Amino acid sequence: MSESDWPSSLTDSELEELDQYLRAHAGEDHLLLDGVHGLLTSLAVGPAPAAPDEWLPEVLYEPFVDIEEGERILTLLARLNDSVSLEIETGAYEPILGEIDTDEGGTAFTSRGWCEGFSRGIDLRAAAWESRLGQDSDLMQYLGPIIALSIEDEVFDSDAEFAALTDDEYDECLARIPESIDAVAQYWRENPASEDDHVRQREGELPRPPRRRGGRWVH
């Protein structure tokens, strides 16, 4: 592939355009831009790729009223998906995070939407993830920062008691997302899922893990 053929990352204005569309059509449980980025990231680093017809229903919930607008949004989503894969391959991955208002009147980054999207990507390949997480502690360790953030932001329900993260610990976990993504991607490349895992996924043998919905991208 020549450099001119590489998928280009979306510009800030294109990201804003996509975000505005998603927010304008969002229901209570719908993903926004940070969540879509988490979803595509999970699928890019996971046990098996997913075709657009698998992940688009997690992003778009209604037919396009305007065909031209629909083609534009689909193009932006396709480019976002391609850029996620390229960033992971080249070691340049950075998550798109949301912002929330703080009690002090400022803003702070939040992983809640991104983690929600990441967890939905795991759902789409639940059998392979669940089987491997139950067998290999290395994968759980690689996911450590993401799991900690997901629990803190109440994306995952957990029966165990975990101490709340301090602000510094939370920021440290955010900073470690790229290295976590790199390690998980490398893990699945070196330890691919078996055919039995894929058969179980198609047959839907494993239930989805309990989660709380959430996550909004606030400017």
63: left (phi over 0), alpha (psi -120 to 50) or beta: beta
More confident residue, 169 or 205: 169
Q: Is the Cβ–Cβ distance between 7 and 14 less than 8 Å?
A: no
pLDDT of 6 higher than 90: no
Select the CATH number that applies to the domain covering 8-203 from these four: 2.60.40, 3.40.50, 1.10.3470, 1.20.120.
1.20.120
Q: What is the pLDDT of residues 51-102, one digit of tens each?
A: 999 999 999 988 899 999 999 999 999 999 999 999 999 999 999 999 988 8
Domain ranges for the chain = 8-203
Structure confidence at residue 11 (pLDDT): 92
